[in-house]
Amino acid sequence: MNVYMDEMQDRLNELADKIEDLEYDNARLREQLADMVQSKPIPCKNVKETSWLGWFKKLTEETHEVLCAIYDIAKGTGTTMHIAEEITDVITVCTSFLDWMGYNDKAREKLQREVNEKNRVRNYF
């Protein structure tokens, strides 16, 4: 009976170690998922744009800011970081616009996969 109990105790210890490893992996994966979610563009919900014309104006404004940042760097007064920030603003506006049009996160992901596939077929990357 003691041999059986020892074997069972060993097995319980092995399982406890596996559970500890899985809990560690789970915590690490949760952190990675949180990082991924935070790096995706999040649509702005409190926006003034409530019409097609409003979105036209907003996208034009944000795109103009990118062009100004590029012009600044061409004159020697700007930075690539400023251009990157302005481009990221455009990405966020576009994400918000898609959301306003009814494209939720899953629909935007599907659409992006389709565009990526179209670009892959065209040998763009």
Cβ–Cβ < 8 Å for 119, 125: yes
45 pLDDT tier (thresholds 50, 70, 90) = confident
Q: Return the pLDDT at 95.
A: 97
- pLDDT top residue among 87 and 46: 87
pLDDT mean over 25-49: 81
pLDDT mean over 30-53: 82
- On whether the pTM is more than 0.85, the answer is no
35 pLDDT tier (thresholds 50, 70, 90) = low
Q: What is the mean pLDDT of the chain?
A: 91
Cβ–Cβ < 8 Å for 105, 36: no
Give whole-number Cα distances, 75 to 58, 65, 70, 79, 85, in Å: 26, 15, 9, 10, 18
pLDDT tens-digit map of 64-113: 999 999 999 999 999 999 999 999 999 999 999 999 999 999 999 999 99
Q: Which two tokens stand for residue 31?
A: 């952190």
By the 10 Å C-beta count (0-12 exposed, 13-18 middle, 19+ buried), 124 is classed as exposed
